[in-house]
Chain A
Amino acid sequence: MLSIHAYKRQEPLQWSSGLILLGAVALSLGASALLLKLHGKPALGGISILFSGAFGSLWAIEDCLIKAIPIFLCSLGVAIAFRLQIWNIGAEGQFALGAIGATWAALSFPEMAWYGLLPLMAVAAFLLGGLWGLIPALLKLHMRANEIIVTLMMNYIAILLLDYLVYGRWKDPLSFGFPMTPEFSPAAIVGKIGTTNLNWGLVVCLVTALMIWVFFRYTRLGFEFQAAGENVRASRYAGLPYRRLVCLAMLLSGAFAGWAGFLEASATINRLQPSIMVGYGYTAIVVAWLARLNPLTIGLASFLLAALRVGVENLQLDLQVPAAFGGIMEGMILLTVLAGGFFMEYGLRLRRSP
């Protein structure tokens, strides 16, 4: 009798690992095409509409980049915590607090010039987002409270806090009672790069990613992070400042998510309103793991995920498929890519069993 056995590859795959990923994506795209067919829509046409919506033109790529910015920053943040095996599910709340901090600065100092105001907003977002990350860290270290549940609950609290502010205290008197703050002064708005639709937030993202990459690869503290993340108990024996590392990780994690909130409020919405919360904090977790916590790969993964979502919109528009189709597709792609990862480390061989 023949049976299939998995064996661990001696050397990790090089270029063919890309093929495996492509194969996984192709598999789920095939399934999606089939679903389209069942729905009575052109199968291959649908997939090509998806691609042209995401990459088919310069402005499509611009759209994807713009959408990728907040996912990228949040994901960079959670990845730092994940490296230390701290399960920060709270990017969503930290994002909200960052937006709140930036808005506070923008509304408090409307007269300030941009070179003063924008850094102030960034600092406020950094501090508030970081604080929202630091609280679960402190509760974990001192009260041994599980960070998954604390960060998750703090997401809800943060969103309600944002609601409270825009429905009450910060409501624009000119908005006819609708929940939104006044529009930011031009000095509080992160500008666009040249004639493109892209804002300077993209540069902030790339620089941040590069810095984190350098930090983990070339600095002593970065090395300590890696070591502590790989084996918590051993790192304590080795005298690594575990507690301080946890605090630092959560502070940075929250701060980067906070920056995403700042950029979203300033560059794209130009004010604070409840609809700023669209779940980037949760998407970020998927992206971070998909990219195996590598800051540079995270950039690529957030771009691709943003592209998928933008492409699905095009599919909706042209073929009238429901939005839910996008969810089904995204879920399938993630699952097949995950499963495909198996073949990078393992091979299959047939074996005759006795």
Chain B
Amino acid sequence: MNTDLLVPLLAAAIQSGTPILFATLGEILTEKSGVLNLGVEGIMIVGALAAFVCAKLTGNPLLAFALAGVAGMVIAAGHGVVCLWFLGNQVVSGLALTIFGLGLADYLGTPLIGQTAPGFGKLSIPGLGALPILGPIFFQQDLLVYLSVGVVPLLWAFLNKTRWGLNLRAVGEHPEAAAAAGIDVLRYRWAGVLGGGFLVGLGGAYLSLAYTHLWTSGLTAGRGWIAVALVIFAFWRPGRALLGAYLFGGVMAFQLRLQAIGTHVPSSLLLMLPYALTVIVLVFASWKSRQANAPAALGINIEPQD
């Protein structure tokens, strides 16, 4: 494969990885606070719809992007109410939220079929965009790609360098100890759920504002589930999430290009590539690493103290 094909492939890897990256980062934040939210798919698609509707009505993509985050927060709040206040099972609540979100988006979105809305186009960074090879791969993307990359160090710094972030992680690891140290456990978990929902919603917005500029039911097409898997793949680290999302997006784009070049391998087998590769890489990574890094109290509800 020559650079003529490789450069667009890598650029495509970044683009198709970006919605998954936003969602993965969101889920990392939520899980770090000790809450497992399997509703990523449902939150994402509501975010996508909210963004599309807002962009259509206001003509302002940035506002639409932000609103998608808010919509994600609202849906994620449902998970918060059920699991944090009423101590419902986090697995079922997340799955229920997925069913609910997909239904809601489909229900509200049907009148918008066949319409377009303004969104984000390619934004070449002056200077860097003109670089050979690197320019087209990294610096001729849309604004949201740069934003998503910006979130990675921010999230890392928040989780590792700020008091709030450290408290949040403590809540995810040892809620009892955190509570004993005077941390308001419930408040941090709420922050994790809502903040995560915000980022996941942004991931959905990427699909309807930048990747495409249209709406159909099922726009997310399972990307939320990939994000759930990538959180574990990334060992709950934002940097590795970036790698994982781009790797997954890249392999997906790669198998399509293999077909375009004209291989004779059945398409079903080619489509297995991204999934098989994820498993293989995970297996080797987990084999080598000392710890999996999962928050110890993940998925365990905190009982109210009388």
Interface members, chain A 144-195 (any B CB < 8 Å)? 144-146, 148-150, 152-154, 156-157, 160-161, 163-164, 167-168
Partner of B86 from the list A329, A331, A341 (CB cut-off 8 Å) is: A341
- Tell whether B93 is near chain A: CB-to-CB under 8 Å: yes
Q: Which residue of B lies closest to A148 (CB)?
A: B232
| Interface contact A324-B106, CB-CB below 8 Å | yes
Subset of 13 A-B contacts with CB under 8 Å? A144-B286, A145-B286, A149-B229, A150-B279, A153-B229, A154-B275, A286-B95, A289-B92, A324-B102, A335-B82, A335-B100, A341-B86, A342-B86
| Interface contact B99-A334, CB-CB below 8 Å | yes
| Interface contact A335-B97, CB-CB below 8 Å | yes
Q: Which listed segment binds B: A5-13, A44-52, A108-116, A217-225? A: A5-13
Contact flags (1/0) for B90-111 with A, using CB distance below 8 Å?
A: 0111011111111111110010
- B28 → chain A closest CB, angstroms: 14
Determine the chain B residues whose CB is within 8 A of the CB of A149 once the complex forms.
229, 232-233, 278-279, 282
- Tell whether B157 is near chain A: CB-to-CB under 8 Å: no
Name the prevailing secondary structure of the B interface residues: helix
Determine the chain B residues whose CB is within 8 A of the CB of A250 once the complex forms.
none
Q: A185 to B35: give the CA distance in the assembly, Å.
A: 50
| Interface contact A160-B271, CB-CB below 8 Å | yes
| Interface contact A153-B232, CB-CB below 8 Å | no
| Interface contact A324-B93, CB-CB below 8 Å | no
Q: Which residue of A lies closest to B88 (CB)?
A: A338
Q: Given A160-B272, A339-B81, A341-B86, decide whether A326 and B103 contact each other with a Cβ distance below 8 A.
A: yes
Can you name 18 extra interface pairs (CB under 8 A) apart from A5-B304, A6-B304, A146-B282?
A139-B279, A145-B279, A146-B286, A148-B228, A152-B228, A152-B229, A153-B229, A160-B271, A167-B268, A323-B106, A327-B102, A331-B42, A334-B99, A335-B93, A338-B88, A338-B96, A342-B88, A345-B87
Contact flags (1/0) for A30-57 with B, using CB distance below 8 Å?
A: 0000000000000000000000000000
Q: Given A156-B275, A163-B268, decide whether A144 and B287 contact each other with a Cβ distance below 8 A.
A: yes
| Interface contact A341-B275, CB-CB below 8 Å | no
- Tell whether A325 is near chain B: CB-to-CB under 8 Å: yes
Q: A160 to B272: give the CA distance in the assembly, Å.
A: 7
Determine the chain A residues whose CB is within 8 A of the CB of B272 once the complex forms.
156-157, 160-161
| Interface contact A145-B283, CB-CB below 8 Å | yes
Name the prevailing secondary structure of the A interface residues: helix
Q: A177 to B120: give the CA distance in the assembly, Å.
A: 42
Interface size class of B (residues with CB under 8 A): 35 or more
| Interface contact A328-B282, CB-CB below 8 Å | no
Contact flags (1/0) for B202-234 with A, using CB distance below 8 Å?
A: 000000000000000100000001001100110
Interface members, chain A 221-279 (any B CB < 8 Å)? none
- A80 → chain B closest CB, angstroms: 15
- A325 → chain B closest CB, angstroms: 6
Q: Given A6-B304, A330-B99, A331-B101, decide whether A146 and B266 contact each other with a Cβ distance below 8 A.
A: no
Q: A5 to B292: give the CA distance in the assembly, Å.
A: 37
Q: How many residues belonging to A are interface residues under a CB distance threshold of 8 Å?
A: 49
| Interface contact B282-A339, CB-CB below 8 Å | no
Q: A282 to B287: give the CA distance in the assembly, Å.
A: 28
Contact flags (1/0) for A311-354 with B, using CB distance below 8 Å?
A: 00000000000111111111110110011111001100000000
Q: Which residue of B lies closest to A164 (CB)?
A: B268
- A10 → chain B closest CB, angstroms: 11
Q: Given A167-B268, A334-B92, A346-B304, decide whether A327 and B283 contact each other with a Cβ distance below 8 A.
A: no
- Tell whether B269 is near chain A: CB-to-CB under 8 Å: yes
Q: Which residue of A lies closest to B231 (CB)?
A: A149
Determine the chain B residues whose CB is within 8 A of the CB of A332 once the complex forms.
100
- Tell whether A137 is near chain B: CB-to-CB under 8 Å: no
| Interface contact B82-A144, CB-CB below 8 Å | no
Q: Given A143-B286, A154-B279, decide whether A328 and B88 contact each other with a Cβ distance below 8 A.
A: no
- Tell whether A290 is near chain B: CB-to-CB under 8 Å: yes
Q: Given A146-B282, A157-B276, A332-B100, decide whether A338 and B82 contact each other with a Cβ distance below 8 A.
A: yes
| Interface contact B275-A153, CB-CB below 8 Å | yes
